[in-house]
Structures are given as C-alpha cells and as structure tokens.
Amino acid sequence: MSIEFDSIQTLREALDGKAISATELTKHFLSRIDQLDPSLNSYITVEHERALSTAAAIDKKLMAGERATLLGIPIAEKDIFCTEGVRTTAGSKMLAEYRPPFDSTATANLAAAGVIRLGKCNLDEFAMGSSNENSYFGAVKNPWNQERVPGGSSGGSAAAVAGGLCVAATGTDTGGSIRQPSAFCGLTGIKPTYGRVSRWGMIAFASSLDQAGPMARSAADAALLLEAMAGPDEKDSSCLTVSVDPYSTLIRQPLEGMRIGIVRSLLAEGLSESIAEAFEDCRKGLEKLGATFVEIELMHHHHSVGAYYVIAPAEASANLARYDGVRFGYRCEDPADLQDLYLRSRNEGFGDEVKRRILVGTFALSAGYYDAYYKQAQRVRRLIQGDFLQAFDQVDMILTPTTPTTAFSLGENTEDPVAMYLQDIYTISANLAGLPAISFPAGMSLGLPIGLQLVGPHLKEATLLSCVHQFQQVTDWHHQHPRNWA
C-alpha cells in the first residue's frame, strides 16, 4: 500500500468507496512515523491512541453513510496550537510539559471537519527561526536531503508532509514561517489575510503578525484545509467577521485576464541563478494560461526586514513576559527569592534565539528608544502597506521568489543571525501589510525544491489558490516527492 503521497480527493474517494478504512489509513501513517521519523525529528508528540480512537469513531460515521470532505483525513498540527490534554510545547523547554485545558479555535474547526490528528510537529522555539534548528527538541531534517534544513519555523510540519508522514499539516506564519519551509520542502503553503484564521489558542509570538494556515502538496488540498480552518471567532477580537469563501470551488477559476505584477528589483542581487530561471519559466507558463504581467515598484520593500526585526521582537518581549516561573511553564529548582525565581526560570527555560529577540524587543520599547525604533518601524510598516495597496490598483497579484536560495545546510547560518534573518527577505512584507500570500513548488535545483510566491490583496485567498491550482494543472512539481521516502 503506497498512499502517503495521495491527494485529499484521492483518499476521500478511497474512504467513501470503502477501499480503505479510516483506521487502516491512520495505522499506515502512524507506522511510517514510527519507522521513519527518528531520522527527521518532525514530530514532538505522536498521538497513537487518540488518533486510532478518533479513526474508529469516524469509521462508524462512514459506515452510517456520513460524508464530508475532510472526514477521516490524517493530518498533523504544528506544536504551537493548544490541544486539550495533549502536550503543547511551542518547541521550548519553558512549555515542555504544558497540557492545555482547551483546544485552539483552528484545532477545533479542523476536528469539527472530521480530520484525524496524528500528532504535534516540531518547530523553532516559540516560532522564532528560519531553519527549525532552534527547537528545544532538536533540529528537524529536510526529507529531500537530511543534511539540509526544512525551513522554519514550521519546519516540522513541512518535513512531515514532504516525507509522507501525514497528508497535510497546519503551520503559523509571522514573517514567512509557512511559506519558507513550504518552498524548502516542495509544498504549497498559504498564509491567509491577517485575521482570516482565529489566533485564539495559538501560542503568541508577535500578535499583529501571527497568522495560521495550511501546508499541503497542492493548492487543491490547501484550499480544503483553509476552508475548514478559517472563519469568525468571538474569542479573538482580531479575527475577521466576514464569511469564508468556498475556496475549493473557486480554485477552478481560469487565469484569462489576470494581471500579475513583477518587481524587477527583487530579482537582482542575492537571488540564486536556479531560482531566477524557475521564476522566468513560471512567468512564461502563467502567460500561456492567460495571465498578463505588469512591472511594478514596491518602493519601501528593502526596509521590510529592518522594520520586522524591530516590531516582531518588541511584541515577543511583551507576549513572553508571562513566562515567569510562577503561573505555569518551567520553574527553576530551589530559587533563593522571587527575583531569583524570575531570572533563573527565564534564563533556563528560554533558548538563545528567544532570549536574543526578547532583549532586542525590550530595548526597542524602552524609554528613550521607543520613538527612535518601534514607532519608526511602525511608520515604515505603513509605507510598505501603502506600496502594496497602490500596486493592487494596477495588478491582481504579485509574483516573487519565496526564498533567495534552496534549502541551506544544517548549521550553515546558526552563527550568523543576520544571514538567517535575510532568509525571510521576500516573505516578511506580506506579514507587515497583513496580506495573503502563497508559496508553491515551481522547479528543482540539485535535487532540492524551488518555491515561488504570489501575494494578493486582502481576503483574496481564492484568487491566489486558483492561480496556483491552474499552474499545477499543467506542471508536476507538486507531485514530486523524495524518492527514498516512497
């Protein structure tokens, strides 16, 4: 039985046609996790008993004639979504044994749609990183080449899907953490409009930037998952109240008349030759499908990394202040007094990258520096958003690379934080502007996947998904997978 790289639609037909049961499907993936994940380290927690119990209940529903698109589909969740009674760590020693008393809204929505959760995936600690080397539970390996990173922070989710250890997975994206690992692992990953998916129960990094979304092999699969995850939530004041589009139906829209913007300045210095070639091939392919291309400018895009690495750490320093060794989370042994409790609990509980960002953020928010750094970064953020709004008067979406290179080697950038931060140079601006953006497979280079990105106006996820879906009807990059994992 070789079903680990099948689409959701193929598995749906098999389940409905009784060619396979939900229990058999779940056992297949759990067996692959047990056998193969020790070399990838993509999961932190595998939920054998819970997954099989859920599958058995779903088999009864299927026998009774119940039908739903995601009913019985095995997925994984990034270990930053709270799951009732199940360890939720955020990849940190600080929360290594935390068991929430509730489910996140995204988790609850997917459960209501009938998915089977296989387990919780590894990630950079508190979602801070671009390589998944910052996890307390160890680095994740890329299934295409285990000497390479899978990207971050949703690297565990990306590796699990790419390695055939689940059908699809959830991720979160604060500055590119769905799209960059999707590019490195040959997946389709979408960051929705800010507020399109509830953040309630999602452990916070930077509250004005964080957004949840799906990671899958194709736009069709991503559309099905996003349709289930998204929607209003009264528990999250930043969650949008507008209804969810039928993404899985709208992906059939043709590309005739679609205007796609290109920013030539983003295709110059620092971009690898193989990705530049894939970009040009993709452009030609989309033109054949009826799209037209327009050259545009994003005048302030080059300021996005600088603005992000002031705003995100500032918000992180505030969000992570709650981890003090008192209420929940890691607590140091035998503190001398309250101050010692605070200092040692935080020093021992947080990793180096998290400490670095807390320090940067606290400095940016401190008296005397708030105006010079944080306030100025927010002004730049508004200029970046204005550039996009002006561009979308001319075009329907914008095509860019997702990353400047393919997956880099483990340890290559760990001693150079700036080099690591520049991995997000193409993705950060969409988060600053709150825009939807999707990464999709568009080529290969030396055995490693190449991803490209489309950015669209607010709430135009359907447009992005349909564009990628049409591209995937005439290409097979999304069907490719690591040969030694079949």
Average pLDDT of span 278-283: 98
Question: β-strand 74-78 against 43-46: which pairing, if any?
Answer: unpaired
Average pLDDT of span 21-26: 98
**Residue 147 to residues 139, 151, 323, 409, 483: CA-CA distances in angstroms?**
11, 12, 34, 6, 16
8 A C-beta contact, residue 213 and residue 429: no
Average pLDDT of span 285-297: 97
pLDDT for res 91: 98
Rounded Cα gap, residues 45 and 343, in angstroms? 29
Read off the pLDDT of residues 419-444 as tens digits, 9 standing for 90 and up.
Answer: 888 889 999 999 999 999 999 999 99
Residue 243 annotated as catalytic: no
3-state secondary structure of 442: strand
Residue 153 annotated as catalytic: yes
Read off the pLDDT of residues 337-372 as tens digits, 9 standing for 90 and up.
Answer: 999 999 999 999 999 999 999 999 999 999 889 999
Task: Give the number of residues written for the chain.
Answer: 486
Q: Which of 42, 78, 120, 182 is catalytic?
A: 78
User: Sheet harboring 168-173: ordered strands across?
Assistant: 43-46, 116-121, 74-78, 168-173, 211-216, 188-191, 437-445, 448-455, 397-401, 259-262, 292-295
Residue 177 annotated as catalytic: yes
**Residue 451 to residues 403, 405, 408, 428, 468: CA-CA distances in angstroms?**
7, 9, 14, 15, 12
8 A C-beta contact, residue 172 and residue 88: no
Read off the pLDDT of residues 383-404 as tens digits, 9 standing for 90 and up.
Answer: 999 999 999 999 999 999 999 9
Q: Which of 21, 177, 218, 345 is catalytic?
A: 177
Q: Which of 130, 153, 317, 466 is catalytic?
A: 153
Read off the pLDDT of residues 32-59 as tens digits, 9 standing for 90 and up.
Answer: 999 999 999 999 999 999 999 999 999 9
Mean pLDDT of the chain: 96
- Tell whether the model's pLDDT for residue 263 goes beyond 80: yes
pLDDT for res 486: 67
The residues pairing with 216 across neighbouring beta strands, listed in sequence order, are 188
pLDDT for res 418: 82
Domains of the chain and any CATH numbers: 8-261+394-480 (3.90.1300.10), 301-381 (no CATH)
**Residue 103 to residues 81, 107, 108, 232, 463: CA-CA distances in angstroms?**
8, 6, 6, 16, 30
- Tell whether the model's pLDDT for residue 1 goes beyond 80: no
